[in-house]
Amino acid sequence: MGLGKGNGKGGRRAQAGRPKGARGKTVLEREALARARAEAKTMPLDWLLERLADKNLPAEYRDKLAAMAAPYCSPRLTSVAVTKRPAQMSDEEVAEMIGLTREDMLRLGIGRGEWPRQVH
C-alpha cells in the first residue's frame, strides 16, 4: 500500500474547512460578551449616572446620587501649603523654613554626611 496521490490522505479537498469570511469561535464569543455588557449596563457608575439624569426623581435623591458618583467622575482636591516668597518673610520665618528643610532632607536621607554643612 503506497501513499500515492489518489488514496484520500491529506492534501487539499474541495469544501473542506471554514468558509471564507466566516468568523472564528473566539471572535464570536468576544462580540457576544460585548453585546451582553452593553445591554446589561452592569457598571455601577453607569447605573448611577442614568438615575442621576432622570428628572422624575426627587432632587434630594439625585443630590445623593451625585455625591456617590462624584469620586469616580472627578479627582479629589488635595491640600497645598501656601508659603511666602523668602523676600516677603521675616528673619524668624526664613530661619524656621531653613530648619524645616534641613529636617526634611535629613529624614529623607539626602546629603547625609555632607549636609548641612557650616557656612561660616
| C-alpha cell belonging to residue 8 | 484520500
Confidence band, pLDDT 50/70/90 cuts, at residue 1: very low
Confidence band, pLDDT 50/70/90 cuts, at residue 20: confident
Q: What is the chain's mean pLDDT, rounded?
A: 80
Residue pair 45/69 in contact (Cβ under 8 Å)? The answer is yes
Q: Coil, strand or helix: which one is 62?
A: helix
pLDDT at 14: 85
Work out the average pLDDT over 14-25.
83
Q: Which residue has the cell 446589561?
A: 40
Examine residue 71 and say whether the peptide bond preceding it is cis (omega within 30 degrees of 0): no
pLDDT digits (tens, 9 = 90+) for 42-72: 678 888 888 899 999 999 999 999 999 888 8
pLDDT digits (tens, 9 = 90+) for 90-117: 999 889 988 888 888 888 877 666 655 6
User: If you ran DSSP here, which 8-state letter would residue 29 be given?
Assistant: H
pLDDT at 76 over 60: yes
